[in-house]
Amino acid sequence: MTSTLFIHVQDVPLTETDAATESFDNSLFADLVGADVGFPVTINGDTFLERDPGGNPPHRGHYRGAYSQISSAYHENFCVTADALLTDRVKLLDDTVVSIEDYDAIVVGHYWAYNYYILYLLEQYPEKSIIGIQEESVQDVSRYSSLLSVYHRRVLDNIDGYIVENDQFEQYVRQFTDDVLRVPLHVPEGQFESVTGSNTRTGEVCLGITSWNIDFSNFYTNIAVLDRLRDDGYQLNGELLGVQDFQKRMTADYDEIEFVTTTGYVESNFYEYISQYEFGIHLTTRATSGRVSAEFAGVGVPLIGNKNNDLQQRCWPDLSIDPFDIDSAIELGTRLLEDDAFYDQCVQRASETVQELQNYEETATEVNAFLNSVAN
Instruction: Assess whether 216 and 309 both reside in one domain.
Output: yes
Pairing of strands 86-92, 161-164: unpaired
In a domain, 193, yes or no: no
Name the helix (H) or strand (E) containing 158. Answer: helix 146-158
Instruction: Assess whether 310 and 335 both reside in one domain.
Output: yes
Q: For residue 319, what pLDDT is reported? A: 98
Cα separation, 181 vs 166, in Å, equals 11
Using alpha carbons, list the distances in angstroms from residue 231 to 121, 221, 250, 331. 56, 15, 26, 13
In a domain, 198, yes or no: no
Please tell me the total count of domains within the chain: 2
Q: How far is CA 116 from the centre of its chain?
A: 21
Q: For residue 376, what pLDDT is reported? A: 63
Cα separation, 182 vs 214, in Å, equals 27
pLDDT at 55 over 70: no
Q: For residue 120, what pLDDT is reported? A: 97
DSSP code for 359: -
Instruction: Assess whether 133 and 267 both reside in one domain.
Output: no
The predicted model scores a pTM of: 0.91
194 close to 271: Cβ distance less than 8 angstroms = yes
Query: Of 56, 90, 86, 49, which Cα lies nearest the Cα of 73?
Result: 56
In a domain, 191, yes or no: no
CB atoms within 10 A of CB 359: 12
Average the pLDDT over each of 123-127, 195-199, 341-345 and give the range with the smallest value.
195-199
In a domain, 196, yes or no: no
Instruction: Assess whether 248 and 100 both reside in one domain.
Output: no
Helix (H, G, I), strand (E, B) or coil at 204: strand
Q: For residue 1, what pLDDT is reported? A: 57
In a domain, 338, yes or no: yes
Give the structural domain span for 265.
Answer: 204-357
Task: Using pLDDT thresholds of 50, 70 and 90, give the confidence band for residue 97.
Answer: very high
In a domain, 192, yes or no: no
Instruction: Assess whether 346 and 369 both reside in one domain.
Output: no
Q: For residue 92, what pLDDT is reported? A: 94
In a domain, 151, yes or no: yes
Instruction: Assess whether 145 and 219 both reside in one domain.
Output: no
Instruction: Assess whether 161 and 245 both reside in one domain.
Output: no
Task: Using pLDDT thresholds of 50, 70 and 90, give the confidence band for residue 168.
Answer: very high
Instruction: Assess whether 61 and 73 both reside in one domain.
Output: yes
Q: For residue 45, what pLDDT is reported? A: 85
Instruction: Assess whether 338 and 221 both reside in one domain.
Output: yes
Instruction: Assess whether 232 and 129 both reside in one domain.
Output: no
Exposed (0-12), middle (13-18) or buried (19+): which is 194, by Cβ within 10 Å? exposed
**Residues near 219 by beta carbon (within 8 Å), at least 6 away in sequence:** 207, 208, 240, 251, 254
| Residue-wise pLDDT tens digits, 249-300 | 888 899 899 999 999 888 888 999 999 999 999 999 999 999 999 999 999 9
Average the pLDDT over each of 84-93, 188-197, 260-269 and give the range with the smallest value.
188-197
Instruction: Assess whether 35 and 136 both reside in one domain.
Output: yes
Q: What percent of the chain has pLDDT over 90?
A: 72
Task: Using pLDDT thresholds of 50, 70 and 90, give the confidence band for residue 67.
Answer: low
Q: Where are the beta strands (DSSP E) in the chain?
A: 4-7, 36-42, 86-92, 97-99, 105-110, 129-134, 161-164, 180-182, 204-209, 237-241, 260-263, 279-282, 303-306, 320-321
Q: What is the mean pLDDT of the chain?
A: 89
In a domain, 194, yes or no: no
pLDDT at 5 over 80: yes
pLDDT at 227 over 60: yes
Instruction: Assess whether 160 and 235 both reside in one domain.
Output: no
316 close to 303: Cβ distance less than 8 angstroms = yes
Q: For residue 51, what pLDDT is reported? A: 63
**Residues near 172 by beta carbon (within 8 Å), at least 6 away in sequence:** 138, 141
| Residue-wise pLDDT tens digits, 340-350 | 999 999 999 99
| Residue-wise pLDDT tens digits, 102-118 | 999 999 999 999 999 99
Q: For residue 195, what pLDDT is reported? A: 83
Exposed (0-12), middle (13-18) or buried (19+): which is 248, by Cβ within 10 Å? middle
Q: For residue 239, what pLDDT is reported? A: 96
| Residue-wise pLDDT tens digits, 23-52 | 788 999 999 899 999 999 999 888 886 665
